[in-house]
Amino acid sequence: SEETTRLHEEINRLKKEKGAVIMAHYYTNPEIQDVADFIGDSLALARIAQDVEENVIVMCGVHFMGETAKILCPDKRVLVPDPEAGCSLADSCKAEDFEKFIKLHPGHTVISYVNTTADVKALTDIVVTSGNALKIVNSLPDDEKIIFGPDRNLGEYINCLTGRNMVLWDGACHVHERFSLEKILELKRENPDAEILVHPECRKPIQTVADKVGSTAVLLQYARESKATRFIVATESGILHQMRLQCPEKEFIAAPPSDTCGCNECAYMKLNTLEKLRRCLAEMSPEVEVDATLAERARRPIVRMLQMSR
Ligand code: 13P
Ligand code: SF4
Q: Is 25 annotated for ligand binding? A: yes
pLDDT tens-place string over residues 72-95: 999 999 999 999 999 999 999 999
**Burial of residue 175, with CB atoms counted within 10 A of its CB: 0-12 exposed, 13-18 middle, 19 or more buried:** buried
Q: Is the pLDDT of residue 261 over 60?
A: no
| Residue 115 CB less than 6 A away from ligand 1 | yes
Report the CATH number that the domain containing residue 234 is assigned in CATH.
3.40.50.10800
Percent of the chain with pLDDT over 70: 99
Number of domains in the chain: 3
Protein residue closest via CA to atom 8 of ligand 1: 115
Cite the beta strand spans of 146-194 per DSSP E. Answer: 146-149, 167-168
How do residues 203-235 score in pLDDT, each as one tens digit?
999 999 999 999 999 999 999 999 999 999 999
173 is in an annotated binding site: yes
Distances, alpha carbon 199 to alpha carbons 107, 113, 177, 217, 222, in Å: 30, 14, 11, 10, 12
Q: How far is the CA of 17 from the centre of ligand 1 (A)?
A: 31
| Residues whose CB falls within 8 Å of the CB of residue 187, separated by 6 or more in sequence, listed in order | 194, 232, 253, 255, 256
Q: Is 114 labelled a binding residue?
A: yes
Instruction: Mark whether 168 and 304 lie in a shared domain.
Output: yes
| Amino acid sitting at position 277 | L
Range of the domain at 104: 89-173+300-308
Residues 233 and 249 in one domain: yes
Residue nearest to atom 7 of ligand 2 (CA): 173
pTM of the model: 0.96
Same domain, 189 and 222: yes
Same structural domain for residues 94 and 169? yes
